[in-house]
Amino acid sequence: MNDNHKYVQQKTNHTHTALIFVKLCILASVTLLLTLTATQAQSVKRIEIPTNGEDNKYQVITLGEEGLLILSKTSKKTFNITKFDAELQQSWSVNGDLEENQSYVDYARDGRDIYFLFSKFNSDLYQIIKVSTGIGIMQKFFFENISRFEVSEFKVHNDFAYLAGMVKEEPVLMSVNLQRLQPRILAGGLKGTASISSIDFDDENGLLVVSYSVKKGRSSYMVVKRINPNGKIVEQLSVEPEEDYGLLTGKLFSLNDGTQLMIGNFGYKGYQSNGVPMSQGLYISKVDEENPEYVKMHSFTEFKNFFKFMSQKQQDRIERQITKKRDKGSDLRLNYRVLVHDIIQKDNQYILVAEVFYPEFRNNNNFYGSGMYGSPFYSPYGFNTMSYYRYYGLNSWAWNPWLYGGSRGFNNQQFDGFKYTHAVVAAFDEKGNLIWDNSFSFDNVKSQELKEKVKIKLDSNNDITLVYSNKGKLASKIVRGNEVIEGNKVLEVGTEQDGDKVRDTSTDDLEYWHQNYYLAWGYQKIANKTGGSRKVFYLNKIAF
């Protein structure tokens, strides 16, 4: 072999060795990154906005990789909207005017445009602010509506705004042509006590799809109406449970393949006759034809992990009771309240998260919570059906933080917040059959608003990361079907300033943002060892 050949061979060997080394380094880095992603959470960036306690009200709208918007009410007649990119750098900021004492009600997204709804409780004048997320161009739309309209749903689609809610305990559905500013009342005529549960759109047929929760006598069921652009009901169907049961709540979802699913919780009729609806389990129904293709009901007693939030002794007792009932051909009766999330379609499965909660009341500074109150099988208090639906109206006037500084009472009982016990995550097949379930316990979580606390991230390897925020800390759990890949872990969200000590965190929220990032935000009181202190509204970008 000549010298040139030896040189080429040596160079080739060195290059090959170098490439192997680089690949090993990359593999090691990826492995380390995957390990960190799977087992650790880290604050990537934080920004703080000085605030005087609750004087400034901030609403955060996440936009995925595009960033986020912050809406703040700067005075009784002014507001500000600021956009930050995915690195928490400010992109633009715009100011706007309100009618005196108008308050934020809700927001809706249609493409790259965000629509904010403002109103005043005792007024029939409403305002919608349209903002393009790209460059911050703002448009205003004024229209007159029904006064004392408790809005629970706000959607915008193809230059039409849709508002659903209650007026004097009657369901009202309204559309507003944003080009002509023409409001119109749609679709009435339901017998019994009804509440609008959800609004969706059938783009393929150009229809508005509205679901109602109806209570008639001892029966509770769902009604789905499909409405054309002229306001005519072109189809109506009922989703009814098996005998002896009632459907308590329901949400309608249109999936990418055109499938429409109704999901919610059900209970025994006997538990509803006294006006206190209690959930026995979850149901799923396919409703994209003239009649429901199926209505599958799954009692929580079928779930493998639903009762994991209890102590082992309590779990064993429950299992004995369930087995005893099954041997007699019946089911153990439960009485939970459940907040159902939006459904997620992945591969051939429908993944659903639901959170179990109960409202707490106090009277004369004494809590209604002693004795059997904390048991999932007893309920010594009651409230009427419409109050119950207001709990599920996440944007109802009764729980609007822009309107009421404190909580409101019902029937001489002072409402003291919603206490969360645990969340369940479950997967169903395309026929509505339960495939697997898992659970995630809450550690002393309480909120003045009924809102989704657990946020989830689905990974390509079928791992599901469950995270919630509470008092400035993040709790996480990773599951894969019935398995637990990583148990409960807690991360304290730091301030990134030396010498800081967080004295108080309030109204903290969390959203899955994009890729492996979550966004946490809320209000904090912070003291520093140098003697200074500050009150801030914070935003934390967190990597999992």
DSSP string, 293-308: SEEEEEEGGG-SSGGG
In tens, the pLDDT along 363-413 reads 644 433 332 222 232 222 222 333 333 444 333 323 332 333 333 344 556
Q: Write out the residue range of the structural domain in which residue 379 sits.
A: 247-453
What per-residue confidence (pLDDT) applies to 513?
Answer: 95
CB 108 within 8 A of CB 158: no
CA 18 to chain centre: 50
Among 50, 107, 98, 56, smallest CA distance to 76 is for: 98
> How far apart are the C-alpha atoms of 367 and 415, rounded to whole Å?
10
| Whether pLDDT at 284 is above 90 | yes
Stretch 149-172: mean pLDDT = 90
What per-residue confidence (pLDDT) applies to 472?
Answer: 84
Q: Which amino acid is at 186?
A: L
> How far apart are the C-alpha atoms of 518 and 512, rounded to whole Å?
4
| Whether pLDDT at 273 is above 70 | no
CB 297 within 8 A of CB 266: yes
Question: Residue 378 carries which DSSP code?
Answer: -
Q: Residue 186: which pLDDT band, with cuts at 50, 70 and 90? A: confident
CB 73 within 8 A of CB 114: no
Query: Please, what is the average pLDDT of the chain?
Result: 81
> How far apart are the C-alpha atoms of 118 and 99, rounded to whole Å?
9
Task: Find which of 95-99, 357-361, 363-367 is predicted with most confidence, using mean pLDDT.
Answer: 95-99
What per-residue confidence (pLDDT) applies to 241?
Answer: 92
In a domain, 295, yes or no: yes
What per-residue confidence (pLDDT) applies to 413?
Answer: 67
Q: Residue 303: which pLDDT band, with cuts at 50, 70 and 90? A: very high
| Whether pLDDT at 239 is above 80 | yes
CB 219 within 8 A of CB 246: yes
Sheet harboring 68-75: ordered strands across?
57-62, 68-75, 78-84, 90-97
| Token digits of residue 217 | 């006598």
Using alpha carbons only, give the angle 84, 89, 90 rounded to the nearest 5 degrees: 55
In a domain, 155, yes or no: no
Cα radius of gyration (the chain): 26
What per-residue confidence (pLDDT) applies to 9?
Answer: 46
Q: Which amino acid is at 474?
A: L
In a domain, 285, yes or no: yes
In a domain, 10, yes or no: no
In a domain, 64, yes or no: no
12 class by beta-carbon count within 10 Å (0-12 exposed, 13-18 middle, 19+ buried):
exposed
What per-residue confidence (pLDDT) applies to 348?
Answer: 87
What per-residue confidence (pLDDT) applies to 410?
Answer: 45
More confident position, 541 or 274: 541
Q: b or e along 288-315 (b: 16 or more beta carbons within 10 Å of the residue's beta carbon)?
A: beeebeebebbbbbebebbbbbbeeeee
CB 308 within 8 A of CB 315: yes
In the block, residue with structure tokens 């600021």: 82
Among 434, 395, 392, smallest CA distance to 250 is for: 392
Out of 17-21, 352-356, 416-420, 444-448, pick the least confident: 17-21
CB 311 within 8 A of CB 369: no
Instruction: Please name the residue ranges forming H helices in 351-485.
Output: 385-392
> How far apart are the C-alpha atoms of 225 and 117, rounded to whole Å?
25
More confident position, 245 or 1: 245
In a domain, 50, yes or no: no
Task: Find which of 120-134, 182-196, 317-331 is predicted with most confidence, using mean pLDDT.
Answer: 317-331
> How far apart are the C-alpha atoms of 308 and 437, rounded to whole Å?
11
Stretch 161-169: mean pLDDT = 88
The total number of structural domains in the chain stands at 1
Stretch 202-216: mean pLDDT = 88
| Token digits of residue 51 | 């605030």
What per-residue confidence (pLDDT) applies to 358?
Answer: 86
In tens, the pLDDT along 408-465 reads 344 556 888 899 999 999 999 999 999 999 999 999 999 888 889 999 999 888 899 9
In a domain, 533, yes or no: no
Stretch 236-246: mean pLDDT = 90
- Helix/strand/coil for 82: strand
In a domain, 159, yes or no: no
Query: pTM here?
Result: 0.80
